[in-house]
Amino acid sequence: MSKLNNLPMQAIPGPDDVLRTELPNGIVVLARANYNSPSVVVSGYLPAGGLFDEEKKLGLADFTASALMRGTAKRSFNRIFEELEAVGASLGFSGGTHTTGFSGRALVEDLPMLLGLLAESLRSPAFPAAQVEKLRAGLLTNLDLQQQDTKDRAGMAFDQIVYPNHPYGRPDEGVPYTIRAVHRRDLKAFHRKYYGPQGMVLAVVGGIDPQQVVEMVQRTLGDWRNPSQPVPPPLPEWHPLKGREDVSILMPAKSQSDIIIGTAGPARSSEDFMPAALGNMVLGKFGLMGRLGESLREQAGLAYYVYSEMGASIGPGAWAVSAGVDPRDVERAIELIFTELRRFVSEPVTDEELADVQANLIGSMPLSLESNTGVAVQLLHMERHQLGLDFLRRYPELVRAITPAQILEASARYLDLDRLAVVVAGPPVEGKQDD
């Protein structure tokens, strides 16, 4: 019997102990009490992501999110962080393709302060000119570091190949020339147009009554309105590659080559997602990185690291194998990766492999529920993908229901070996053309 089944039912979040309330202005509040904790976690998102970025101002949504706490109409940058530090609290924002996210924590008695600062940052950021320029310098430094990293360069090229003319192919953080093109007035305009309560989700978990949480959120954010806030645009249709695309990015000063091979996988809402996710565990995630780890690391001794990863996104997230190898071993590593992929899409996983993965996923679920943060993350995931508040309690049944045949069908549907992107970033490799 799994650890999850041994947990008392009240330890697993469900419809009976998670309060879900939608305020009149559209904000969804998810609250769950944990009276054993003296602290509280606040986490959430609103639909003000990179989907709204213009090509010439790519990275504007991320820039805006990063600038929210650089000063507000009432507080300076220094005062904000002094007040947080004084009570041992934290709060931060981050930009993404679909959303701007936020996360913070504090002692229960300081929750009103934390929610007040969250509301103030969301509703009345000042974008002080000096702070904007400091932030810009930091963003440009990070972008410069990415250009010097073989794994980052491979990842950016992979996204551009797999997602042409699609938001998933654009870097959320922008590129140097677009970040330089962002002015303070752009930040203010983006905030004025796209920040609002519609579509915002806020999860609060900790030692406080859920109904009190709803009342606090109502007091701080209940009167927020933005009549001009637009609905996020639908994602464009994704089209598979017409054939295999190989790209080599020449980085002469490096000593390692990074490889990414893959394509787009199922959206989180797809019926294929769970079978594909379990299959991905077998392929390159479980134990010492699954079959790929066994083949490339244990048997061939080729890879510094190797794993496969599948995104859980609103749209078709990437499904890709990543590996770091000695430049002299690039061709052999690619050959072995394709050998494992060919086997993966043509033969069912074994009953033993599937049973091991199922036991691991079910047994590890309690670990994700041991902290307030972990519970908040799960609540937001269930809300974002409309999985239902009973999802975690149904999870063991859902995982056990997956069969080798379902995994094979999903894998073969998405991993067409003749239509994959193959990207290598590193020193020159004989027989490969520079990009």
Q: What is the DSSP string of 113-130?
A: HHHHHHHHHHH-B---HH
Structure tokens at 264: 């787009």
Residues 131 and 264 in one domain: no
Residues 151 and 295 in one domain: no
Residues 264 and 189 in one domain: no
Is pLDDT at 5 greater than 60 in this prediction?
Answer: no
Residues 251 and 343 in one domain: yes
Amino acid letter for position 368:
S
Q: Each residue of 228-263: pLDDT tens digit? A: 999 999 999 999 999 999 999 999 989 999 999 999
Q: Each residue of 365-395: pLDDT tens digit? A: 888 899 999 999 999 999 999 999 999 999 9
Residues 285 and 178 in one domain: no
Instruction: Tell me whether residue 232 is in a domain.
Output: no
Instruction: Tell me whether residue 220 is in a domain.
Output: no
322/284 Cα distance (integer angstroms): 9
326/402 Cα distance (integer angstroms): 37
* Listed residues 174, 195, 216: the one ending a domain: 195
Instruction: Tell me whether residue 257 is in a domain.
Output: yes
Structure tokens at 421: 């992107």
What value does the mean pLDDT take over residues 28-47? 97
* Listed residues 195, 217, 236: the one ending a domain: 195
DSSP secondary-structure letter at 9? Answer: G
Residues 422 and 300 in one domain: yes
Instruction: Tell me whether residue 59 is in a domain.
Output: yes
Which residues 6+ apart lie within 8 Å of 140 measured at CB?
176, 179, 180
For the range 291-299, what are the long-range contacts, defined as Cβ-Cβ under 8 Å and sequence gap of 24 or more? 291/340, 291/343, 291/344, 292/321, 292/323, 292/337, 292/340, 295/336, 295/339, 295/340, 296/323, 296/333, 296/336, 296/337
Residues 77 and 181 in one domain: yes
* Listed residues 161, 180, 195: the one ending a domain: 195
Residues 274 and 144 in one domain: no
Residues 402 and 261 in one domain: yes
> What separation in angstroms does the CA of 401 have from each of 199, 275, 303, 395?
33, 9, 34, 10
What value does the mean pLDDT take over residues 106-110? 98
| pTM flag (> 0.75) | yes
Residues 185 and 255 in one domain: no
Instruction: Tell me whether residue 124 is in a domain.
Output: yes
At residue 266 the predicted structure's pLDDT band, cuts being 50, 70 and 90, is very high
* Contact by Cβ (8 Å): 19, 210: yes
Degrees to nearest 5, angle at CA 140 with 138 and 143: 115
Residues 148 and 252 in one domain: no
CATH number at 152 reads 3.30.830.10
pLDDT at 166: 96
Q: Kindly report the average pLDDT of the chain as a whole number.
A: 95
- State the total domains in the chain: 2
Structure tokens at 162: 């797999």
Place of tokens 């393709």: 97
196/105 Cα distance (integer angstroms): 22
Residues 254 and 170 in one domain: no
Backbone angle region of 159, left / alpha / beta, with phi > 0 → left and psi within -120 to 50 → alpha? alpha
What value does the mean pLDDT take over residues 69-87? 97
Instruction: Tell me whether residue 314 is in a domain.
Output: yes
Of 27-41, 47-61, 360-374, minimum mean pLDDT range: 360-374
Closest Cα partner for 1 from 359, 412, 335? 359
Q: Each residue of 187-225: pLDDT tens digit? A: 999 999 999 999 999 999 999 999 999 999 999 999 999
Instruction: Tell me whether residue 218 is in a domain.
Output: no
* Contact by Cβ (8 Å): 424, 154: yes
Which residues 6+ apart lie within 8 Å of 239 measured at CB?
none
* Contact by Cβ (8 Å): 380, 44: yes
Could you tell me what percent of the chain has a pLDDT over 90?
Answer: 93
- Domain hosting 315: range is 245-426
Instruction: Tell me whether residue 208 is in a domain.
Output: no
Rounded to the nearest 10 degrees, the angle between the axes of helix 273-284 and helix 404-414 is 90
